[in-house]
Copies of this chain bind each other. A is one copy, B any other.
Amino acid sequence: MSSARCKIGVVAPASRMSADVATRVPALAQRLYPDRTPEIVFHPQCFASHGHFAGDDEKRARAFLDITNDESYDAVWFARGGYGTCRVVESIMCRLAETSKRKAYLGYSDAGMLLAALYRAGFEGVAHGPVAQDILRDAGDAAVTRALAWMIDRAPEALEPTVVNAEKTVAFNITVLSHLLGTPLEPDLEGHVLMLEEVGEALYRIDRSLFHITSNANVRRVSGIMLGRCSDVTPNEPNFGMKEEEIAQYWCQRAGIPWLGRADIGHDTNNKIVPFGAWL
């Protein structure tokens, strides 16, 4: 546990962050760490708007680079998910400075596009976990408290509980992983426990995405799959006939991938931290 102040930069490579977040998160951080309050800098780009996105592609890429290529930052924190990270990954990856490798990167959902590319490039501080905007959820302080505990102290209690027993781990939103397989963003998954979660999709779509994921040769080299929470599942017409856990087990069995049960991740305040790679 360091006594130095941690400097965290918040950027939004996908959708725009709500303004409230920039007041509520620092206030919570001050209450949690009165003697060594982290410096949390919200890049102005977080509040930009360009159609669906928090600024156009170049603005979002440039903002990410402003933080990650600045030696003074210890952590790069995703403001939120939404959609749009895949558009900026290529232009970010080709402009990263050496100092970017030292930092922690924390996010989930759409951020998985960049987490994947950074991990593939050999970055060791990549993790799947809460974003700044999670503070707006009911009891969202718990999610942000966990994110800060990870970024500031790498606190083991912030981890998804099975991480400590796994050789290597990764975690993704199901739809996001499906859409990065076969692209230059796809990391080598061999020997990893792969944790998956989903939000706002019908069961037939979860089934189709898990067909896609478990049919992939790279994914078939994982040491096993765990299913996080699938929340806000949209109606299936007609009734799908299987629950999400049965669906995951079905595709694991067909693919010869060990089914390792449920993971404590999801689009909610209990979303635990999953580092990419070996924890220690």
Q: Which A positions have Cβ atoms within 8 angstroms of B?
A: 49-53, 83-84, 86-87, 90, 178-185, 203-204, 207-209, 211-212, 215-217, 236, 238-242, 254
Contacts and interface: CB of A to CB of B under 8 A. Distances in A.
Contacts of A241: 50-53
12 contacts: A51-B241, A52-B203, A52-B241, A83-B204, A179-B209, A180-B212, A181-B181, A181-B182, A182-B217, A183-B211, A183-B216, A184-B215
A119 B182 CA distance: 20
Contacts of A242: 51
B212 A183 contact: yes
Nearest to A219: B182
A240 B51 CA distance: 5
Q: Which 3 pairs across A and B sit closest by C-beta, in order of nearness?
A: A51-B241, A183-B215, A182-B182
Given A87-B211, A240-B51, A216 B179 contact: no
A117 to B, nearest CB: 11
Given A51-B238, A52-B240, 11 more contacts: A49-B238, A52-B203, A53-B241, A84-B204, A86-B212, A178-B212, A179-B208, A179-B211, A180-B212, A183-B212, A183-B215
Contacts of A215: 182-185
Contacts of A239: 51-52
Nearest to A83: B204
**Most B CB atoms within 10 A — which of A49, A178, A207, A215?**
A215
Nearest to A183: B215
A241 B240 CA distance: 34
